[in-house]
Amino acid sequence: MSLSDFESDLTELSSSDEEYIPVSLKPQKKKAPSKPNAEYKVTNALRPPRTTSYTARSLYDQIIDGAIILDPPYQRDVVWSEPKQVGLIDSLLRNYYIPPLIFAVTSRDDGTESRVCIDGKQRLTSIQQFMDGLICHKDTFTNKKYWFKGGTGKRVPLPKQYLQAFANKQIVCVEYDSLSDDQEREIFRRVQMGVALTPAERMQAIAGPWTTLIRDIQLKVLGEDGFGEDLDWGHARGRDFQCLASIVYLIDNYPTSKFPDATQLEKWLSSSGPVSANFQEGIMDTFRIFIALVKDSKYNAAFQKPTRVSPIEFTMTGVLIHLYRLKFSLQQLSSAIWKMRADVRTKHVDVRANTKVASTMYTFITEDIKGIELQGDEKGDSPAVTMIKSASLTCKLSKREREEDTSDNEYEELTGSPHRADIRELVPRRGKAGER
């Protein structure tokens, strides 16, 4: 399944559709009437940043060493076309102005620093790709191509003096210290006001408890224990975030059946009310079950036939799992997902994220499913959430046992004697009076 083709018949909010209104980072309290002669004071100001510069070589080395982080959760993907990247290289070589980079600087325990790129990812990526030999410098007058690194074929290397000159180009940077995550996001939002972000990209930049929950889910499903290659999971321009947010929105607003558009999701994500611990646990259980269904060959046929999973099917699958996680077994959930997908495809030729398709799938989940016979596991059909938590506990216990075994072996190798716990078993216990 690919979420990179997430499309909707609903109108999506573009960057010019409404006036930008910054989201408050904290719940607003009613303020007491100000005194007539009270002096105005700016509140919630950031600490002043510092302006510095680094050479192109220094920035490149920091990227390679991992000291510059190009992909914080709110950042955009690499969206510049190759001609635009090549144009930046030409601007640098010809000493044309490029805007400063913006970093959030964090000091590490070992005395080194890391820099999170708040603004400038496209420029830094262009510099890295040029110095890696992935893009060329194209002379704007002769159209000849020159490369920073040589390679196979007829690549013409950039003359040595220009290689050195490019590596030593000074690039202006603005650095902030001691920023919170919300402050980083607010800087990103304000800087990007004039840039045409997609609705999904704007959502990721919103600060608040709902966005934090969606990011936690994102880390789980995209991590090494997530869907992996068992589900074609697109990441293009934040669409995976929008899809996950749609699932949680529908669960939070149950029993509404209206599929949210971008405007509704942004408004919901901007709400500052707390998300209860019970709700968060239920959501994370839902995605643990979702991942288990995808990765287990006994259940994952539901995601492969009759065709790949569309974004709306992915979203409504999350809702189905959540509503029946306490009732259906893993096998029954797999069967229900299969039948839901078959049902919607008999009623709609084009299965896209729109109100009609969402309504059909919602009706199946809340009404039609009650009269359908689902395939069971013939083992009592324990609820999926019970099986997932049991499997998680077993995994933790097994890991602990492995760690203890390793610890025992290391102790014996180092001392030539059994582990302390084993020594107790070798020492005769003192019995009661009259016993040996």
Q: What is the pTM of this model?
A: 0.58
Across the strands, what pairs with 171?
54
Length of the chain (residues): 436
Write the Ramachandran bin of 153: left for phi over 0, alpha for psi from -120 to 50, otherwise beta.
left
What value does the mean pLDDT take over residues 13-39? 52
Secondary structure class of 431 (helix, strand, coil): coil
User: 63-72, 117-126, 373-382: which has the minimum mean pLDDT?
Assistant: 373-382
**pLDDT in the model for residue 423:** 29
Which of 176, 178, 184, 187 shows the shortest CA–CA distance to 215?
Answer: 184
Taking residue 110's Cβ as centre, other Cβ atoms within 10 Å add up to 5
Angstrom distance (rounded) from CA 141 to CA 193: 34
Position 1 pLDDT exceeds 50: no
Which residue did the predictor score with more confidence, 229 or 436? 229
Classify residue 3 by its DSSP letter: S
Phi and psi at residue 115, to the nearest 5°: -125, 120
pLDDT for res 239:
78
Q: How far apart are CA 430 and CA 436, in angstroms?
A: 7
First to last CA, the chain: 70
- Confidence at residue 145, expressed as pLDDT on a 0 to 100 scale: 93
d(C-alpha 17, C-alpha 138), whole Å: 37
Q: How many CB atoms lie within 10 A of CB 295?
A: 16
Q: How far apart are CA 316 and CA 246, in angstroms?
A: 9
Tell me the average pLDDT across 219-248: 79
Report the amino acid identity of residue 381: D
pLDDT at 34: 57
Taking all residues of the chain, what is their mean pLDDT, rounded to a whole number? 82
Least confident span in 110-124, 182-196, 259-273, 397-411: 397-411
pLDDT band at 32 (very low <50, low <70, confident <90, very high): low
Sheet of 101-107: strand order equals 50-55, 170-177, 101-107, 113-119, 68-69
| Residue bearing tokens 């920023």 | 179
Q: Could you tell me the pLDDT band of residue 238, with boundaries at 50, 70 and 90?
A: low
Q: In the predicted model, is pLDDT for residue 431 greater than 70?
A: no
pLDDT at residue number 419: 42
